[in-house]
Amino acid sequence: MTATACMAALREYLSADVALANSPGKVLYSSAATLDPFPIYFLGTNPGGALPSTLAQSLDDITNGSNEYLDYSWECRPLGQAKLQKQVTRFLSGLGFESRNVPASNIVMTRSRGITSHHDMDGDARRCWPLHQIILESVQPRAILAFGSGLEKSAFAYLRAFLKPDEVESIPAEQPGFTCHAFKASLGTRTTNVVVVPHLTRYSPYKKPAIMEWVKARLA
């Protein structure tokens, strides 16, 4: 599947779910150009903030090459300079990736100011998963890399629920109360590695050499 075909498939899926299409949120944090094959697919939990733009509108936004982590102002900060934006850039750079080139989204694409204030995280995770399947078919990543490793309403929780791994490797994240997870999953005829670190607003894996090496080994 080409990036153009992927965009068409995403639009077609949203046209069949008008309620989801008209919900505030964003399908991709990276640009449409990142929908070609790439080694990883990067995921957060869900978009924050209170912008009114919808999932359907976001597909038009990403055709201009903009990247949410680099080219947007969050929290009234300069472009790309909010804490989470810088954390993502440093993490990906430490793994050898340029943020602008990495296909990136959120496991739940609908927006909320916080996870606890979301109207239906579980339901929207299920409704958004087919969009991820379309993206995964196009990107064909060797690994899914995510942040948000809690056991409920997190990138890890939903990836584990949808991909149903036989076993999960979990290690202490070198920070009290946090854990990193990894597992293998079948996506069609391919086996894909899934690696999840704690949420990057509260965790800096790039400052932990052993964790970075652990992540790199499981992305390979």
Query: 36-39 long-range contacts, Cβ below 8 Å, gap at least 24?
Result: 36/2, 36/3, 36/138, 36/139, 37/138, 37/139, 37/140, 37/141, 38/101, 38/102, 38/103, 38/139, 38/141, 39/97, 39/141, 39/142, 39/143, 39/219
d(CA 65, CA 71): 9
Is the separation of the CB atoms in 155 and 146 below 8 Å? yes
Residues 6+ apart with CB under 8 A from 59: 7, 10, 11, 14, 27, 28, 32
pLDDT mean by block of 10 residues, the chain; 220 residues: 94 96 95 97 87 87 89 89 96 98 97 72 94 98 97 94 97 97 93 98 97 97
The pLDDT assigned to 56 comes to 95
3-state secondary structure of 13: helix
For residues 208 and 170, is the Cβ–Cβ distance under 8 A?
Answer: no
Residue with tokens 């969050």: 74
Domain-wise residue ranges, the chain: 3-219
3-219 maps to CATH 3.90.78.10: no
- pTM (2 decimals)? 0.94
Q: Point out which residues pair with 186 in neighbouring strands.
A: 191
Given 3-state DSSP classes, what are the helix, strand and coil percentages for the chain, each rounded to the nearest 5? 40, 15, 40
Nearest one of 191, 189, 178 to 218, comparing CA atoms: 191
- Write the secondary structure of 81-143 as one string of H (helix), E (strand) and C (coil): CCHHHHHHHHHHHHCCCCHHHCCEEECCCECCCCHHHCCCHHHHHHHHHHHHHHHHHHHCCCE
Alpha helices in the chain (DSSP H): 3-15, 18-21, 55-61, 83-94, 121-139, 155-163, 209-219
Q: Is 202 helix (H, G, I), strand (E, B) or coil?
A: coil
- Token digits of residue 94: 């430490």
Phi, psi of 175 (to 5 degrees): -150, 130
